[in-house]
Amino acid sequence: MQEFLAYTLAGETPARRCGETAQFRWTWWDEGVVELVPHHATLPALVLSAGIHGNETAPVEMLDALMEALHHGDIALARPLLVILGNPAALRAGKRYLTDDMNRMFSGRWQNFPESGETRRACVLEHCVERFLTCAGPAWHLDMHTAIRSSYHPRFGVFPARKTPYEQAFLGWMGDAGLQALVFHRAPGGTFTHFSSDHFDAQSCTLELGKAQPFGQNDLTQFDVTKAALRALLAGEATEHLNAQPLRYEVAQQITRQSEAFVLHMSAQTQNFTAFAKGTVLAEDGATVYRVENDTEYVLFPNPNVALGLRAGLMLKEIT
C-alpha cells in the first residue's frame, strides 16, 4: 500500500498485493485501486476517487498524502475504504484523457464509445465499485477533480440527479470541507458519481478543487480545510464546523456541441459561475441557438472543444 501513487504512475504492481497494519487490512485490487478494511470498523463505507482526468493532479496528490498518513498510523481508519486513481494511463501522460472522456462513460455508457483503454478502465471501475459496495453497504462516494478554468468559487461540489433527497449530514459536510457552492443535476449522466448514486444509492458528489495543474505545481495549502475534513471523515471524528452555507445552484440547461458549426460565445478567460442576463446568446450550432432563459444564469464547465454530442457547458440558476 505504501507508495500507492508511485506504483500507479510507474505502471507497476507491488510485490505484495495484500497486507495489514495495526489498524487495517489492505488489498491491491487493480492498478490504482486499493481496499482498506479496519480491524474494527465503526462507520459506513467510503469511496475516494481522483484522477478520472489525468491532468487533474491536485486531488491525486492530496489522496496520496492521505494514504501515506493511513499507512503510518497518523489517521486511525474507522470505516471500510476503497481508494481509486481513475485513469492511470492519462495520469502518466499528463493528459485529460487519451482517447475519450472517461467521465462520460459510466453506467454502461462505455459501450457506446469506440473500444479503448478508457472504455475498458470504466468497465473495470464499475466492477470494483460494485464489488466493494455490495459487501460494504450504504456509503459515501467523493470523486475529486479540478476544473479546466478558474472559478469564482474555487471549491465546489456537483451532485448527480437522484430519486431520494441527499442526507443532511452529507450536505453539511460539504460546508465544513470548505466548499463554496453546490450544484445539483436534474438529469442522469455518465459520471462516476452518478453511477455510484444511481446503482448503489451512495451519497455521491464530484468535488471540484481549484484549477488543473501538472504534478508538482499545485498549491495544496488552498485545500487545507478540505484535507482536514477528509482526515476527520476517515477517522470518524467530528469536522470543525465552519458555519459555512455554500450557495446552491441547479442546472437550468445544457449546451451540447452537435456539429462542427458549433460556436460558443464566451472567451477562453470566462470563469466558472460567470453570470449572464436573460436573453443573452450563449452559443450557436447551425439552426440551434442557446440563450439565457432565466433572469440570470451562471455558466459552468464551458468548453467548445469537446467531441460532437458531448456537453460544451452547463447553465445554472441559483436556488434557496
d(CA 152, CA 50): 22
- Please check the confidence at residue 2 and state whether its pLDDT lies above 80: no
Task: Kindly tell me if the per-residue pLDDT of 83 is higher than 70.
Answer: yes
Q: At residue 88, what is the residue type?
A: P
Residues 109-122, mean pLDDT to the nearest whole number: 97
Average pLDDT, the chain: 94
208 is catalytic: yes
pLDDT at 54 over 90: yes
Task: State how far the Cα of 308 lies from the Cα of 318, in Å rounded to an integer.
Answer: 29
Q: Is the dihedral of CA 290, 293, 297, 300 positive or negative?
A: negative
pLDDT, tens digit, for every residue of 124-179? 999 999 999 998 888 999 999 998 888 999 999 999 999 999 999 999 999 999 99
Predicted confidence (pLDDT) at residue 42 exceeds the cutoff of 70: yes
The neighbouring-strand residues paired with 49 are: 84, 143
Does pLDDT of 65 surpass 90? yes
Beta strands, E only, the chain: 18-20, 24-30, 33-38, 45-50, 81-85, 139-147, 155-159, 181-184, 203-211, 247-256, 263-264, 275-277, 281-285, 288-291, 296-300, 311-319
**Is the pLDDT assigned to residue 241 strictly greater than 80?**
no
35, 208, 250, 318: the active-site residue: 208
Report the 3 state secondary structure along 50-97. ECCCCCCCHHHHHHHHHHHHHHCCCCCCCCCEEEEECCHHHHHHCCCC
145, 201, 278 from 155: Cα distances, Å: 10, 24, 26
Residue 61 pLDDT more than 90? yes
Q: Please give the pLDDT value at position 136.
A: 82
Question: What is residue 229's predicted lDDT score, i.e. its pLDDT?
Answer: 95
pLDDT of 240 > 80? The answer is no
Taken in order of first residue, the domains within the chain and their CATH numbers are: 4-235 (3.40.630.10), 251-319 (2.40.50.630)
The binding site for Zn(2+) comprises 53, 56, 145
Percent of the chain with pLDDT over 70: 99
The share of the chain scoring above pLDDT 90, in percent, equals: 84
- Beta-bridge partners for 247: 181
- pLDDT value at residue 1: 59
Average pLDDT over residues 31-46: 94
pLDDT at 135 (0 to 100): 86
pLDDT exceeds cutoff 90 at 41: no
Digit-coded pLDDT (tens) for 181-238: 999 999 999 999 999 999 999 999 999 998 888 888 888 888 899 999 999 999 999 8
DSSP three-state, residue 132: helix
What three-state secondary structure class fits 10?
helix
pLDDT recorded at residue 243:
65
Question: Which cell is 43 given?
Answer: 462507520
**Parallel, antiparallel or unpaired: strands 139-147 and 203-211:** parallel
Q: Would you say 96 and 90 are in contact if contact means Cβ atoms under 8 Å apart?
A: yes
Residue 43 CB-density burial (10 A; 0-12 exposed, 13-18 middle, 19+ buried)? middle
Strands 24-30 and 275-277, by their bridges, are unpaired
**pLDDT tens figures, 277-302:** 999 999 999 999 999 999 999 999 99
DSSP-derived secondary structure letter, 220: G
